[in-house]
Amino acid sequence: MPKLHDICQMHRATITDIFFDLDHTLWDFDRNSALAFDKVFTKHGIDVDLETFLGHYTLINSDYWNRYEQNLITIEELRYGRLRSTFERFGMCHANDVLHTLAEAYIDHLPEHNHLFDGAIDTLHYLKDKYRLHIITNGFSHVQKKKMANSGLQPFFTTITDSEMAGAKKPDPTIFEYALEKAGTHASASVMIGDSLVADVKGASGAGLHPIHFSPYENAASQSGFQTIRHLSELQTIF
């Protein structure tokens, strides 16, 4: 299999646009989510060990998102079901109105914390002088807008596409086609960088974009069949 650098050398002359996923790729979701939950639980008097809660929640949230992206559950089931399922692991049952209060408070506080992955800003500065940059995200529209504004990411990007405006979620080709049209570019001239093998990488590949898998917590020599980077700064040596 050709190395990532070799693949990008072959295409670099024709690449004009680079698309990024937001959560877990630029915006450090796990770190910011932990801070939001800490604030919510303190404010609402929820007596649970935060580290243990997050250990369960991270896996449950990922499962709910996977089902949401496959259109197996609704947005409401995602927002509230992931909390209900996590509390059940502790033998804790909360009334629906309490779950709704906690879920809404979490969403409200989430964009207040805006830690980015190492190298994000430096890499975006580097790429912005050479390419048009864009976001494609499955996240909730109003929340993603706040994250982009509060974290200082917004000025780097020409367009931002979310699943609500596109009427489809990654990995559905429709959202990539929508984003490409909005950006005024073509799949063959575009790269997609994201953490999810299914939503970002396979989804982009299926839509004709050149995918790069961002996998900071896994071995870069994974056998996924797609090229992988572990640190965002690696993009500066590729492009």
Annotated catalytic residue, options 6, 17, 21, 38: 21
Phi, psi of 136 (to 5 degrees): -125, 120
DSSP β-bridge partners for residue 132:
17
Residues 6+ apart with CB under 8 A from 218: 228, 230
23: annotated active-site residue:
no
Contact assessment for residue 121 and residue 96, using Cβ atoms and an 8 Å cutoff: no
Question: Considering just the CA atoms, what is the radius of gyration of the chain in Å?
Answer: 18
H/E segment holding residue 194: strand 190-194
Best CA proximity match to 227, nearest among 65, 204, 13, 48: 204
Distance (Å, rounded) from C-alpha 135 to C-alpha 194? 10
Active site residues: 21
